[in-house]
Structures are given as structure tokens and as C-alpha cells.
Amino acid sequence: MQFRDLQKQYEVLKTDIDRSVAEVVSSAHFISGPQVTELEGKLAEYVGVRHCITCGNGTDALTIALMAWGVGEGDAVFVPDFTFFASGECPAGVGATPIFVDVDEHTYNIDPVKLEEAIVKVRDEKKYRPRAVVTVDLFGLPADYDAIRPICEKYGLLLLEDGAQGFGGAIRGKRACSFGDIGTTSFFPAKPLGCYGDGGAIFTDNDEWAALIRSLCVHGKSGSDKYNNVRLGVNSRLDTLQAAILLPKFEAFRENELDAVNQAAAWYTERLKGTELVLPEITDGFVSSWAQYTVQLPEKIDRAKLQEQMKKAGIPTMVYYPRPMHGQGAFAGTDSAKADCPVTERLCETVLSLPLHPYMTKEIVAKVSDALMSCLA
Ligand SMILES: *Cc1c(COP(=O)(O)O)cnc(C)c1O
């Protein structure tokens, strides 16, 4: 059994993907080909923002957004403590200080009450200037933007939505990657919308930032004269081949896969409810893109042993994430390591992610669920 079955997906989409790839190869337009522009247009329309700028990966997307805002030394950037490393790595990489904030134990997303407390504390200490909030739509569920947006406005902070796992999610019809002043996503193969290598995108409604981001992605080139580099940028583009792969994959995603993965998640919840497991909760009015189906095990369970037993039954499981951000070695001895995040610490000990993808059958969900329940018993 595959944790996320990309081979099955390719079998289903093979004709369209092969044709699309062959077109690029025969055109030899490998960088910034027409497929890139077409994809950017479609993604911007789907997300509901004016601009989509594709780039090399989801990590670059975050870094470039922060560069466009000039976030850097002396700035505090608030980041959830329970996330993939890049969410905090990128603010630190541009010279800012990530301040890690605890998450909600049911949604796994940044806790708005604790966010405001952290902002006030940093503001009053005066060591760093509160500058931006990075929200993460963890495991596919949009963060609590109804609460977070007003906090950002109250304290004059920029909102950067790390939608690497959230693409396709929504709140009352408004789509993920449109909640931040800038939103980003990743097309890493295992993400909700993945390509066949690395890829990423940046979304914004702001024309000025969009132009700046386009420039930053290509060595800080000027809009009118390609060989005049007016600022320091990076080289971060989505290959035409990856765009060509994403075009048919995006059609399948919006037409079928997003619904199918929601169905698979619903099957898990149906099968596992009433057990000792804490199951993922989707807030009313929210849609998840189900990057992961993550449960919490009872604290008494030896997780490593359980994973070993599941593996023997042919079932892969993963731990996202075993270590809080503030406990990552890269932050040791810095102010980022000073965080009070008991919920994250507990989640790191108890979470377990189960195989999930749009091509899962009800039988496979039952097999995984039953194996898990018998391991718990
Ligand atoms: C995957 C991921 C990223 C980074 O994306 P890449 O394309 O792998 O660079 C950033 N943030 C989160 C939350 C992610 O899950």
C-alpha cells in the first residue's frame, strides 16, 4: 500500500500527461513556456486573486514573499510551532526572528488567542518589531482567518499564508491561498496538487507586489529591460515541463480529486469514530484539501511500536511532525527557541498520519482503520 499513491494517479491521467509533456519536449521551450502562463492564469482564477506567480518550490515562494516586503533583521515574524520547517526557516533565512506560537489541539492550526498574546509581548519588550504573521493551512485545513485577519489589522502586521498543504481548501467558498496579503503554495509531488518534481506559486491581489515578485524570481530583472538587474533576486521558476504536468493534474484536482479525497477522509472518520483516537475536526463552513489525515493516539500508546505493527500489516504511516519548531536544532540558543507551546509538544508525541489520497477505495480505508484499531486494542 502507498501512503499517497502517485502511480495510480498517473495511470488514470497518463494520456493527458504524456501528451502535455511531449508538447513541451518537441517545442523545446523549457523555461517560461506558454504552459506556465496558462497555468498561472488558471490558478489565479481558481484561488480568486489577481496574480499568480509560479516559482521553483514552496520554500522559495515564502522567501520571495518576505523579500518583496523587505522583512529582515530586527523584525519578528509569528509562526505556528507545529508545522513543516520551511514556515520558520524562511523568515529566519531573510534575517528576521521567528516567534513560535502554539496551535489549537483540534484544528492543528495557529491559536489566535495565543497569537495576540505573543504579539503584545514582543511589542512591549521592544527587542524586535512585530512585522508579519505566517499562517499555515496545516494538513489541508485553512487557518482561522476570521480571527487572525482582524489581529493582523489591529497590530499593523502583514499576513503571509503558507498554503503549501492547503491548496483547494476554502472557508465559505473563499479559497485557500487568498487569505493572506500574499499566499503561497507548493507543488511538491505529495502535496494536494503536486507536480513531478519541485514547484511552487505565490498569490496576491496587490499589483505592485506582484511585479516585484516577478522581478525577484528572475535575478531582480527590470520589468522593461531584461538585462538590467535593478535589485538582488533569486533564480526561482517553475519549469515548463512541470507546468505542462500540472495543467491536466489541476483539471483532475478540481473536477474529481478534491471531492474524492474528502470522501476518503469521511470514510476514515465514519470508521474510526467512537474509538480512543482524537480525529481531525473540520470547522463548520471550512473545506479541507486533506493533505493529511492525522489522528492523535492515546498518550499511553507506544507510537513507534504501533507504526512497526502497522508496517508489518503492509500499512505505511507517518509522523507529521515529531518535533516542535522551537525545538529544532537550527534555532538552538536563539530567541526563537524560547516558546511556551504545550499543545504542540503533546501533539508531537501523539500524532499519526494515515495513508490518504484521492484514489483510495472504501476497502483500503477499512483495512487501514481496522488494522489501527486492532493495534490499539
Ligand atoms: C511542503 C511545505 C513547504 C515547502 O514546500 P517545498 O515545495 O517543499 O519547498 C512549506 N510549508 C509547508 C507547511 C509545507 O508543508
> pLDDT digits over 340-351, tens only?
999 999 999 999
Residue range 121-135, pLDDT digits in tens: 999 999 999 999 999
Q: Which atom of ligand 1 is nearest to the CA of 61?
A: 9
Q: For position 32, what pLDDT does the model report?
A: 96
Q: Give the range among 34-38, 170-174, 226-230, 321-325 with minimum mean pLDDT.
A: 226-230
pLDDT exceeds cutoff 90 at 224: no
For residues 250-263, one letter each, b for 16 or more C-beta atoms within 10 angstroms of the residue's C-beta and e for the rest, the string is bebbeeebbebbbe
CA of 176 to the centre of ligand 1 (A): 15
Domains along the chain with CATH numbers: 6-249 (3.40.640.10), 257-376 (3.90.1150.10)
Which pLDDT tens digit goes with each residue over 232-256? 999 999 999 999 999 999 999 999 9
| Averaged confidence pLDDT in the chain | 97
Burial of 298 by CB count in 10 Å (0-12 exposed, 13-18 middle, 19+ buried)? exposed
Q: Decide if pLDDT at 223 tops 90.
A: no
Residues 238, 55: contact at Cβ < 8 Å? yes
State if pTM tops 0.95: yes
307 pLDDT band, cuts 50/70/90, is very high
Tell the residue nearest (CA) to atom 1 of ligand 1.
Answer: 164
Asked whether the CA dihedral 221, 222, 226, 229 is positive or negative, the reply is negative
Ligand 1 binding pocket (C-beta < 6 A) is: 57-59, 83-84, 86-87, 136, 162, 164-165, 186, 188, 198, 200
Residue nearest to atom 7 of ligand 1 (CA): 58
Q: What pLDDT score was predicted for residue 155?
A: 98
Q: How confident is the model at residue 226 (pLDDT cuts 50, 70, 90)?
A: confident
Rounded average pLDDT over 278-301: 97
Whether 28 shows a pLDDT value over 90: the answer reads yes
CA nearest ligand 1 atom 2, residue: 164
Atom of ligand 1 nearest to the CA of 60: 9
Cis upstream peptide for 321 (omega within 30°): yes
Which ranges in 178-324 belong to alpha helices (H)? 207-217, 240-252, 258-272, 303-312
> Candidates 81, 85, 162: which one to mutate for ligand 1, based on the most atoms within 8 Å of Cβ?
162
